Amino acid sequence: MGGTASAELFMSTPNTHFGADEIGRILKNCKSIYFIGIGGINMSSLAHISHKRGFVTGGSDRTPSALTARLESCGIRINYSHDAANIHGYDAVVYTVAISPDNPEYTEALRLGLPCFSRADFLGYVMTGYLRRIGVSGMHGKSTCTSMCAATFIGAGVSPTVLSGAELDVMSGAYTVGEGEDFIFEACEYMDSFLDFNPTVAVILNIEMDHVDYFHSMEQIHRSFAKYASLTTESGFAVANVDDENVLIALKDYAGTLVSFGIDSEDALYRATDISCDRGRYSFNIKKRGEQFCRVALSVTGYHNIYNALACAAAADLCGISPEDISRGLASFCGAKRRMEYKGNLGGAELYDDYGHHPTEVHTTLRGAKGLAGGRLVCVFQPHTYSRTKALLEEFSLAFEYADKVLLADIYAARERDDGSVSSRALAEKIGEKAVYCGAIEDTANALREELRDGDVAVVMGAGDIWKIFDIL
């Protein structure tokens, strides 16, 4: 790995760790909850669930969006400014740690002595109201696998509640509040947020170095995932990719029931065999304990999605979904928003939008996209955070192996400030002749328009705001 990260971080508000039992005790005396940052994907879903549970619910965010409009249509009041007076009349506060500690609503809540819960802590409480709680973790593929599970469970008619990091057509957004006993959620490892959760089924897709502004060694990451798996207690399950060496290390002392999946590992409980490919889309048999379980024909591209499908199948089987419904659900899944999402045709070239922002994600997605390209494969990439780009610069320089041309936009800062030690221009130089530094998003869009030819496939990648390129085009 490259040099240590030195980008300056913005201050964020800390996570609370009350735990589900204590939050439940506190809320017995509360009739209303205010959400600071209510427009976020997870925050909006928590507000919706709280509203359905009978709490008077309100919140604030900077700008209106489709998510806030959905909440307002349910009768939830939203303020589009952060003002201390907005808090008055509410009994408790839930906040996203992305807000500053000097946020006027947050500081007023503290002054008034209102109970304040961070998003992850409150989510851990909310999920305990469900019998089966499937948490999808891993450095890559969480949103896709969560969405696969959503499509499969919804298709099977069990009416799950789902909190995902990506929008899905069958949910009309990134979450759905169901009537059943299944709670499916994306379990993010950043800042150890997933340690506030209460899964009964802990899915671990993969483990490697990422979030270098928080994780400083693989040993630290192994410990975090081991703690996450242990949250299932001895009566729970860890659905784990046993082809991944780091997953095996993290789970070596796991006390619950290990439910393994894989492709290469012959002793995996759920294993993909007889794999075939048609223009990047894979079909395969799933064997359970060596016996035929179901046949799967994926509608999404990429070899990596075999692993996502195996994890989904294992979790669904544990929750009583039939092999036939699992096969149908996986076939029906056509991708989540910004996960190799087809955006249209420009001058004879097909355009796709993807959230990939780690070297492994970039390499894996482009490998799958190569099977779609009749002509060249062009990648537009916006690096996400200075710390990740600097620490993984060598890995990023090798991640574009399958691309014929790489157009690089400026780094998306997210929670960081630029200290001048790394740049997209430096990454372009390290990749070599096929890479071009373009700068701002508008300049990158113009460069892409000039670059594309009939028959090309273009993948626009990044976890920041590079999606705006499609509005420009």
CA atoms of 142 and 129, how far apart (whole Å) = 22
pLDDT in the model for residue 191: 83
Q: How far is CA 256 from the centre of its chain?
A: 25
4 burial via Cβ count (<10 Å: 0-12, 13-18, 19+): exposed
Residues 45 and 192 in one domain: no
236 part of a folded domain: yes
3 part of a folded domain: no
pTM over 0.85: no
Q: Which CATH number covers residue 16?
A: 3.40.50.720
Residues 163 and 108 in one domain: no
Please choose, from the candidates 135, 125, 126, 132, the residue with its C-alpha nearest in 3D space to the C-alpha of residue 19: 125
Q: Which CATH number covers residue 230?
A: 3.40.1190.10
pLDDT in the model for residue 150: 96
2 part of a folded domain: no
CA dihedral for 94, 100, 102, 105, sign (positive or negative)? negative
Boundary of a domain, candidates 101, 121, 141 = 121
Boundary of a domain, candidates 285, 314, 332 = 332
Contact 369, 377 (CB under 8 A): yes
CA atoms of 26 and 9, how far apart (whole Å) = 33
What is the layout of strands, in order, in the sheet containing 435-439? Answer: 341-346, 349-354, 457-461, 377-381, 405-409, 435-439
Contact 175, 44 (CB under 8 A): yes
**DSSP letter string over 337-350?**
TTSSEEEEEETTEE
Q: Which residue has the tokens 């059943």?
A: 180
Residues 388 and 306 in one domain: no
32 part of a folded domain: yes
Each residue's pLDDT, cut to its tens digit, for the chain (473 residues) gives: 333 444 444 457 888 999 999 999 999 999 999 999 999 888 999 999 999 999 999 999 989 998 899 999 999 999 999 999 999 999 999 999 888 899 999 999 999 999 999 999 999 999 999 999 999 999 989 999 999 999 999 999 999 999 998 888 888 888 899 999 999 999 989 888 899 999 999 999 999 988 878 889 999 999 999 999 999 988 999 999 999 999 999 999 999 999 999 999 999 999 999 999 988 899 999 999 999 999 999 999 889 999 999 999 999 999 999 999 999 999 999 887 788 888 999 989 999 999 888 898 899 889 888 877 778 999 999 999 999 999 999 999 999 999 999 999 999 998 788 999 999 999 999 999 999 999 999 999 999 999 999 999 999 999 999 999 999 99
Count the domains in the chain.
3
Q: What is the DSSP letter of 15?
A: P
1 part of a folded domain: no
Q: Which CATH number covers residue 452?
A: 3.90.190.20
Buried b (16+ CB within 10 A) or exposed e, 117-149: bbbbbbbbbbbbebebbbbbbbbbbbbbbbbbb
CA atoms of 112 and 187, how far apart (whole Å) = 32
Boundary of a domain, candidates 332, 356, 378 = 332
Domain that holds residue 319: 130-332
Q: Which residue has the tokens 């794999």?
A: 275
